[in-house]
Chains A and B, each alone.
Chain A
Amino acid sequence: MEILKRIAAELERGHDQQVGQMTREALAAGFAPKQVLDEGLIAGMNVVGEKFRVHEIFLPDVLLAARAMYAGMDVVKPLLLKEEVPVAGKAVIGTVQGDLHDIGKNLVGIMLKGAGFEVIDLGNDVAPERFVAAAEEHGAPVIGMSALLTTTMPVMKKVVDLLRQKGLSERVKTIVGGAPLSADFAREIGADAYGYDGVSAVDRIKALIATRGVA
């Protein structure tokens, strides 16, 4: 167990090489890939997320930790796939049509992967139909949408409406985020959740999946 704690600690410090090396050592010592993922990598990333939430650390620290997380994931992921270990959940994410600002969306993707999710990242300038089609194609229960421009925020409502029209709104939940957005705006357009930042987005997505019993 000690090595899993050390993986988490090194991940918190953003030491990618150490995390990669120790992940290999943990697996060689007989720990199951899922246990290394949950109790080493995800445990470390959870601490990072909490420190970010309380402003103890900032975005660059989180991104260094994310790189360390990926260094461990690169080792563990092939084994998880081989053992067909289910992912924590699936999410389709993208920056809405008319908007190219994708740093926030990228951060959500990084944090989601860090939490063990499979992420279908549609990139930026994504049309409403593409969000919905991707959720259907991949069986994703969550669509995450990002916008920076106030003029592109209405596109989010189009996605919510399109899901309703197709009778998918119970099966596919929506979360929105971006600098000009608010929880009020999310409620107004009928989105299921609002993510203030990358960390809270992951928490909200986990809650959506838990309450709906979908993954």
Chain B
Amino acid sequence: MREVVHIPAGEVRCAPADVLALQGVPRGARLDGRIAAMLSEGISLYESLAAPAGVLEEVDGGEFAEIYAGAGKNEPRTPLALIHPRAERLCLFAVTVGGAVSRRISELFQEQEFALGAMLDAAASQGAELAAAYLEACYGRRDAESGAPAGKRAFLRYSPGYCGWHVSGQKRLFARLRPEEIGITLRESCLMEPLKSISGVIAGGPAGIHDFENEFPFCAECKGKECRARIRRALANER
């Protein structure tokens, strides 16, 4: 199964508090009037420029194992190396909010409109996350519609460049997924253009497959630790 997914604009609409949080502004902080106005302007600009699109392609365990092996540069121990063999379904994905947003961010910084540029950058980052979450949910719904067993099931995404999956893994992922169709290309250094794009694999199955201790060597360097909240949500979701 391969599918280009239309992502409705409403699915990638950013919450102002999230856009501020990405810039280190605590929730509930009192905003200067100009910053509040700039926040609205940044989000409006993002909404006018964003062209969200995604692509999904289901693969079997053997295919994914080859893609995951990549150029052999992954960390020796990774969460995904434990998760993917236990997943019942695996789906490569890529999403983008389009190139126009990234171009405008660069222009704003060149024009010395730093604050507005940072607002747009944060909105676009949040939008790309929302687009990836939309694909995750789409794939999960298909699992439910296809008569998957009841119980706690979860569909979570993992990306090259994070959690020990080396960014060079993008080459095999791109060769199989071909996200160029939705405008995402790969640089020689394995980074995606447009910048506000996310790629990886959605692993699905019993929620427990995603449960891991964050004791890998690279976890110590990770300040976000978003995996904890994702795992908690996955384990709490029961259908």
Contacts and interface: CB of A to CB of B under 8 A. Distances in A.
Q: Do these two chains interact?
A: yes
Interface of A: 14, 58-61, 63-64, 66-67, 70-71, 97-100, 103, 106, 110, 125, 149-153, 179-182, 185
Interface string B106-132: 000100111101110100000000000
A188 to B, nearest CB: 10
Contacts of A151: 160-162, 164-167
Contacts of B167: 98, 149, 151-152
A163 to B, nearest CB: 21
Given A58-B29, A180-B222, A100 B191 contact: yes
Interface string B13-31: 0000000100111100100
Interface in B15-61: 20, 23-26, 29, 32, 34-35, 38-39
Which 10 A-B pairs have CB atoms at the shortest separation, nearest pair first? A63-B115, A63-B114, A59-B23, A58-B25, A180-B221, A60-B35, A149-B161, A150-B218, A70-B112, A100-B191
Given A98-B189, A103-B118, A58 B23 contact: yes
Main SS of chain B's interface residues? loop
A103 B34 contact: no
B239 interface: no
B137 interface: no
A179 B22 CA distance: 12
27 contacts: A58-B23, A58-B24, A58-B29, A59-B25, A60-B25, A60-B32, A60-B38, A60-B118, A61-B35, A63-B117, A63-B118, A64-B32, A64-B34, A64-B114, A67-B114, A71-B112, A97-B189, A99-B191, A103-B118, A103-B121, A110-B114, A125-B187, A125-B191, A150-B221, A151-B165, A151-B167, A179-B223
Given A60-B25, A61-B35, 6 more contacts: A66-B114, A67-B114, A97-B189, A100-B195, A152-B167, A180-B223
B224 interface: yes
Contacts of B24: 58-59
Interface residues of B, number: 39
B190 interface: yes
B232 to A, nearest CB: 21
Interface string B167-190: 100000000000000000001011
A66 B165 CA distance: 37
A67 B114 CA distance: 7
Contacts of A63: 114-115, 117-118
B129 to A, nearest CB: 14
A60 B115 contact: yes
A85 B39 CA distance: 38
A179 B224 contact: yes
A149 B160 CA distance: 10
A151 B164 CA distance: 7
A70 B112 CA distance: 8
B162 A149 contact: yes
A58 B115 CA distance: 11
A67 B160 CA distance: 36
B216 to A, nearest CB: 10
Nearest to A73: B112
Contact of A185 (B20, B115, B160, B221): B221
Nearest to A110: B114
Contacts of A14: 32, 34, 115
Contacts of B23: 58-60
Interface string B191-204: 11001000000000
